[in-house]
Structure 1
Amino acid sequence: MTTIDNAAFDTMLAGRPLMAIFRGFGVERSLALAEQAWSLGIDVVELPIQSEADLEALAAVAEAGRAAGRMVGAGTVVSLRHVAQAAEAGAAFTVSPGFDERVARASFEAGLPPLPGVATATEVQAAMSIGLTWLKAFPAALLGPAWFGAMAGPFPGARFVATGGMDATNAGAFLARGVRTVAVGAALEDPEQLPALAALLAR
């Protein structure tokens, strides 16, 4: 079977230690949060799509992102139908909680670089065997920073985005272990965390 790739993230996430996730906020709130993230310097945004309202929000934020030169992706993409919906809504990439080769291939073929979720060496190896080098480690807070150091030995070519339980208090520890990008959600709604997140961007 032919290999695929998600090397587009080499450029998309280069020098971008933070990615924002906005789940279930609706159109207006999602747009406001995305604008806040972009003003903070977080250029890449993910909106999970688990309802019709989520798809409307994704379409609106994706349109705003294109106008502002920002990348907006679809999250919680777990089916071929989700891939089609993400493409129709104008997403630039897809993110999944786990690794499903069918979903990854469909996303790649639709022109959307896939970012599949992994939590074990077996899943990392399976994803990399079909050509994927960028992987979402989920749930990162439960895996812990040391997991990434352990994966670096057998999989030096893997590039990880840490997602799940990430905020200003622990993001630095994961970035120090070689994580390329940390995805944060609720932390962006906490005014007390915003200065710390901004400091991570300035490093």
Structure 2
Amino acid sequence: MKPFLDVGEKFGKNSGRTTVITIANQKGGTGKTTTAYNLAYALSNEGKKVLLVDFDPQGNLSMCFGIEQPDQLQLSMFNVMNAIMSDEPLPPAEEYIHTHGNIDLIPSNIELSVAEINPSLGLLTINALAASDSVLIPVNPQPWSATGLTQLLRIIVKVKKCINPRISIEGILMTMCNTRTNLYKEAFRLVKVYYRETFHIFEVQIPLSVK
């Protein structure tokens, strides 16, 4: 996990209202942070107003926006969640929302890891899915990536059944792709075998690039 985007104005099938997208994969190193960062900028360049919520205790997305030491933040997503669950007033928005043009960011830091193990706050992934309209799943083309999605999909199904019936899956986004290698070809073949009949697999594939 797990940044998610709150996209204002008109976007996707929910025209005329805010669309909330979770970017999630239980496996690390699949490009979740990079996907959120670039998608936010692409949408903002089209005139959309975007709220990025960093839901990762490592704070990588926050660091992408110039917050070099997120663990030293006075206010972060942890404080927002803690205030809500404790039925306390939220701090002023300008004290925890960082603005970059059309993009607003609620940063995260290591304190958010407390929420991951605190039953009163619940699991971060479930909280994000409960608030979302859809899920975008980045997948790194490794042979075990296809089978590794099973746990996440089970969680999404449970959330849809018990908490958030409106949630859907935007699709699977292949990231860090070197299309010339046999490793990529086999991994992509497995993803299609497992999921092509059930989920949309985006035609656009993000190439492997250090930049």
Q: TM-score if structure 2 supplies the norm length?
A: 0.30
Structure with bigger gyration radius: 2
Q: TM-score if structure 1 supplies the norm length?
A: 0.31
Choose between structure 1 and 2: higher helix proportion: 1
